[in-house]
Structure 1
Amino acid sequence: MVKYKIFQNLIVLLVVLLVPTMLLFSYSNRSSNKVVQNTLESSASKQLEYTMDSLEKSLRQIETQSLLLLNDSSIKSYSTSLQFPEYVDHLLLRKTIEDKLTVHNEVNNMIYNLTLYFPTLHESISSKKLVTLSEEQLIEAPKNKWFQHIQDDRFSFRLIFTNPTFPSEDFNNVTSAVETSVSLEYMKSVLQTMDLSGNGTSFFYFEGMPLISNHQNDYNFLPMLKSAKMLERQETQGSGPLRNSMKIDGVSYLIQTIYSPSLQGTLISYVKLSDFLSPLQKMNRLVNVSLFLLFLTGLTFVYFIYRHFRMPFSYLVKKLEQLGSGNVNSRAVLKVNNEFDFLFDRFNEMASRIKALIENVYEERVRAREAEYKHLQSQINPHFLYNSLFYIVSMAHKSPDAVISMAKNLSHFYRYITRKVGFEVTLADEIQLVESYLEVQSLRNKHLSYEIHIPAPMLELPVPTLLLQPVIENAIVHGLERKRFSGKILINGVSIDKQYILTVDDDGAGMSPLELEELKRCVYNPPSSSESSANEMSCGLLNIHQRLVNRYGNKSGVAFSNNDWGGLKVTLTISEEKTVKTNERIIGG
């Protein structure tokens, strides 16, 4: 009976330990649920208040900026500039105002559009080429406060200040007015920022207007929110967020609302309580069962766990830490004659593969950096810069507009190639770079004309930087400049069977069959580093071809052929899984 007595004493001891532990854990479970819910409510409330406070401060900043703009001296002068004989001064002043509007618009990303109205001149100036309000709409619109406006199926928030501040009913005493608009996309970005914080889902409610939301199921909350009087201004203005727990379709939600005095709307945030509490409850039940089993089996296996698990496991963890710290030569040499021997073997194999992969990745990065460096060097042609600067000097007194155009496009060109080399950009960015380059070349060469036909969906295609510009430069330097009276470049884009195809045609000197074969050999079968037979043209095309093959696979790359104009056609193929539509955008030069 002695041996059973020891066992019974052990059982009694485990029960004595288990019962208080379970009671304590049950109390801890209820306390944890309460703490988690209170923490969730506090976090969501602070996030809601912070978002609304930031939004209100941004709106105040916009109001101050609009008032300063309205009282700007150049804007005040513009309303009376037509009274003076120099109409050129009037146009120059308008250009100055347009530049100011553009600067104000770009400084504050919250502003979608800025528009100045001059009722006495029947003119308006906008930072973007958008449809402005008519004089009747301007007179009827609310003044000195934010209001919702829908125009051309586009919803926005607008603010109008006038000079003087209190206009007459017929607007006869108004010399100027400024209209500031905040787009629906910005409001959705505010909601998206809140959603990413992890404290629930949010949307904006404005009475009589559609919801501003990034989700479809937000309309389900409106009836219950209205019945609970959580959308009324009197209860939310000047205090913290309103908070309430509701059940919708059997699901419990924590809902909070806060009112925006400026926009006269309500920001609403909701979160499923089950998403936060259910995992905790499941874990608590699992721990309860684990505690019971642990007390029954724990003492029996303490020695075996320590001898056959803890020691080998500690050894393996030590080796993993060595591997994680960068010691790729770490290997497990301990033999325990159990399953851990298999893990040690697999660890050794994994360490060897990691070492090989690290070496391969390092070599690939070195090669990629060298290729990008060589590519950058090949793009920055000093003669192109020198010729452009000489053109600016020679035209400084003849045509200031040509100088401005040359300087603007030249700065955009060099800003792009010096900042974005090595990054992935969209095809639209590459097209803008090509346009700047062609504009610079067309100013120097009056015979040069170009057309760009790219389907609109293709403009969002991610591509490597400096994909098209080297091809265009080759067409001009090695094609157009070698043939008198040539100067036509055509860029086309099309998507066929999960492939994107870009073609560049010119009417330059073209290439003979032997020259074409030599170019293909240099691009498709490049010589070794010891052989430097590749010329400048093939070097740039080789770089583009290799980047396309490495990035998109063997079905991608560069192809060459003579076209019907007698010039050269360069075809760039990009293989992708997704397809695009063919809404075409045409750009003429």
Structure 2
Amino acid sequence: MIKYKVFQKLLFMFGALFVPTAILFYYANHTSKELVTHTLVNSSSRQMEYTLDQIEQTLRHLEKQALVLTNDSSVRSYANYSNSDDLLDHLFIRNIIEEKLDIQAQADPLIGDLTVYWPQLEERISAAGAGKSMASKEELMMKPKNRWYAEFINDQVFFHLLLSNSPFMEKDLTNATVMVEVTISNRYIASVLEGLNKTGNGTSFFYFRNGNITSTEAIDSNVRAHLMQTPLLRNDISTDVTNHASVKIDGTEYLIQIMRSPTLDCSLVSYIRSDAFLLPLHKVNVLINVSLLFLVVFGIGFSYMFYKHFRTPFAYLVRKIEKLGEGDYTIRATLKTRTEFDYLFDRFNEMAARTQSLIENVYEEKVRTREAEYKHLQSQINPHFLYNCLFFIVSMANKSPEAVISMAKNLAAFYRYITRRAGEQTTLEDEIRLMQSYLEVQALRNRRLSYTIAIPEEILRLSMPTLLLQPIVENAIVHGIEQKQKSGKVSITGAVLADRYQLCIDDDGAGLSNEEIILLTERIQSSYQPSEEMGCGLRNVNHRLIHRFGPRSGLLFERNEWQGLRVRFQIPFSHLS
């Protein structure tokens, strides 16, 4: 008896969904503001830390590039040339340096400019295309050395690093032979701020000690004025920890976060209006309460509709199926629901009617036909063949006792095999032994008969029904070789192909024309007709092969190189068990 647990599980799942959900959102209404604020702070802090960490990595990378340039052999050797030196070598080395600067500047999009100075020569080469020009020592002496510094030009900030090959420099730069200046592109600073703003954590900008600000978006004037007065931006604060505070400015609450960059000597600042992210939360709370009410009403209505339109007709159909399973093939479904179940009921009624017709008519008729086919095959195999062998034994009793012994031995092995219970499984190796006995018997009767068997070991282990090869070999001898003079060759071969095994039985007998091959193929694929005199054995073999190994394993007929007939069938790997 089937147990109807779907409806009970549905109610249980609805209760398990609604009760915890209601409790969860009741608690969330009281803690959502603190949780969202904490989440926003953590998210923004991590994003700012990640951004500054990426900037620091970029600066270290550029510092290494500048250090490599200061120690480059071409750069250092250029400083050793004077006006009296070979001008051609001088220009050649200069060209090499220009190419190196261009390659580095183009390979790294972060570099806005890359310049090499030779203070003693008062020359410089720049990747920005400045070419050879003078640079006074006073100009270089005014710039900060071996550290990053910011330069503001037309409301744009540029970060520079002026690196010397001498860690200890005199005021007049007499001991500095080479100096490399790296300038970070303003586009890179803008892209950093734009990427940080796109995270949705507010508006971000860089704040410098001198009060300058660089940003890609407009800064709220009230926020900027307040930040100038807050201790969060004091110059003596130097830490890599994010400082955050929630402040009210003109009645509006802001969340402000600040993190310093010691390398750039500036602060990364981010701010956002608190109500900008808490207002959607209040709307969500209202929506959730309405949704919970809707969930209750919908759950009750859905349960009722499920019980009426699914549980009741399903139980009715199950009862009818149980009656059908008990053997009552006259059972029919008469309930009308005006739903999809009416289609199922109609299909059930059709299935029951077809099953009843099958049981009463078709099945019994097919069983009788199959029994007739097997009996007809057995009658073909036994009497005629046995009589001929007995006559041979009688005729050879006095002439050749060895032939009589061989005939009796092979005949006994042959009949011991074919008298097995019908349908019993065997192996191809046993079938081949049967064919050897059968062909030996035929060779004793017909001296011009010879045969060859070549089957790979892998195929011999295959499991198959009994008496598949014997009807084919018998047809090759009776309808092929015996119908043609000077013929007498039979070959049984096997092969392992890519996705199947293949067996071929060849003879050099009379063979068949193309029209006869087509006719024979149609005959073995049709149902058995008691009036037919030929083809029953091959038809039986063809049907048994298809039933056991699938439609690709049926018999195929074709002419061979001996002008005789080849019967071929194959066993797909996918149908082996």
- Bin of the TM-score, shorter chain as denominator length: 0.3 to 0.5
Structure (1 or 2) with the larger CA radius of gyration: 2
TM-score normalised per structure 1: 0.45
TM-score normalised per structure 2: 0.46
